[in-house]
Chain A
Amino acid sequence: MDDDMLKGKLVRLVASDPLGEAEAIVRWSANSVYRRLCSTDVPLQYSTKKYKEWLEKDAEKDPPPFNFFSIHTLQDDRLIGGISLDGGAYPSGETFVGIGIGDPADWGQGYGTDAMNVILRYAFEEMNLRRVALDTFEYNPRGVRSYEKAGFVHEGRMRGFLNRDGRRWDMIFMGILREEWEARNR
């Protein structure tokens, strides 16, 4: 109980500042590689004002549609990305996680895996959920490796779901059960 449960080995999860977050998202989203890793949507470009409005509107809702955290490095307290759990009532103790590390210079450094470990601990030990799920795309092997490292198991593939760069790509479903997480962290 003495440990700060939102602090990992490399990063910590902090409340989001709508303006700072919106500015960062606009900067990160200028890179279509990042946008395509995050979303199946056509990567449109939105203004800082628009993102700030969305973040503020979400934050006002009660209960919030997302439990959103900014990811900061422990070393220099720098904003490097975001992670969120879907909000709601959790009648089956199940939720969905989304994560993004914005700047390619911060990719492959273990920040995302560390943030995922932190949010899983939060989901299972504080929120007492039973299961956390995510989906990712066939062209994101770095993400898949990171999720596997955090303990996620492959649960299925939606064949040819995405059509990008002239070919079709699978959507990959992954999930982790509370028992699996406990077995890894005992």
Chain B
Amino acid sequence: MSAQLFRGELVRLAAVDPDEMSKAMPRWNLDSEFYRMLDSGPQAMFSAKKVKEWIEKDLEKDPAQDMFFCIRALADDRLIGFMSLFDNTGHTGDALVGIGIGEREYWGKGYGTDAMRVMLDYVFNELNYRRLSLIVFEHNPRGIRSYEKAGFVREGRLRGMMARDGRRWDWFWMGILREEWAARNGGGARGGD
């Protein structure tokens, strides 16, 4: 068994503190490059109050509809981003995963990939899902590379789903099956090798 389910090599996943997250999110969202990688809708600005209300409303749901985690750097426990699992339908054993590294200085250094590996371990070895899916936009090659490193396979290309900056952009569907994850980890849990 993994020694610590929510701890990777660079980051750990932790519970969301609505006060802390509602301050960080509006600041991250000022960065439109970040926002456009995260969301397909037209960029909007949300107040800390609004973000806090959403998070608190979500936390009140029982059972939790979506799972929401914050990502903290192990080195100094700094809040650098968040992760969520949503659209999980118990009977198919699939969910969508979303990830955002809001602090730019942590981009391209393996933090997101590490967080994704932690999530995959949780999804397959604790939640017992059969597969995990994600959507990434054509204009986010860094994200695509990171997901491939974590073991995701390209499953589809939805042509011209989004119009931005005067052209159309594809969406990529990616997925990883439980068997694929197990094969990459010597048949067991991450850290079990």
A: residues with CB less than 8 A from B are: 40-42, 91-94, 130-131, 133, 153, 155-163, 168, 173, 175, 177
Indicate if B45 sits at the interface (CB-CB under 8 A): no
Rounded to whole angstroms, the CA-CA distance of A42 and B91 in the bound complex is: 8
- Contact pick for B163, options A40, A41, A92, A175, CB 8 Å: A92
Rounded to whole angstroms, the CA-CA distance of A42 and B93 in the bound complex is: 13
CB of B155 to closest CB in A, whole Å: 5
> How many residues on B have C-beta within 8 angstroms of the other chain's C-beta atoms?
26
CB of A82 to closest CB in B, whole Å: 23
CB of A158 to closest CB in B, whole Å: 5
Chain B residues in 8 Å Cβ range of A173: 156, 158, 173
Rounded to whole angstroms, the CA-CA distance of A182 and B162 in the bound complex is: 20
Q: Are A157 and B156 in contact (CB under 8 A)?
A: yes
Q: Are A156 and B162 in contact (CB under 8 A)?
A: no
- Contact pick for A160, options B89, B131, B159, CB 8 Å: B131
CB of B5 to closest CB in A, whole Å: 25
Q: Say whether, besides A130-B160, A163-B92, A158 and B40 are in contact (CB < 8 Å).
A: no
Chain B residues in 8 Å Cβ range of A93: 163
Q: Say whether, besides A40-B89, A91-B42, A92-B40, A158 and B160 are in contact (CB < 8 Å).
A: no
B: residues with CB less than 8 A from A are: 40-42, 89, 91-94, 130-131, 133, 153, 155-164, 168, 173, 175, 177
Q: A156-B156, A160-B130 are in contact. List 8 more A-B contacts (CB 8 A).
A: A42-B91, A91-B163, A94-B162, A130-B163, A130-B168, A168-B130, A173-B156, A175-B159
Shortest Cβ distance from A168 into B: residue:
B130
Q: Say whether, besides A91-B42, A155-B156, A168-B130, A162 and B161 are in contact (CB < 8 Å).
A: no
CB of A57 to closest CB in B, whole Å: 20
- Contact pick for A158, options B89, B163, B164, B175, CB 8 Å: B175
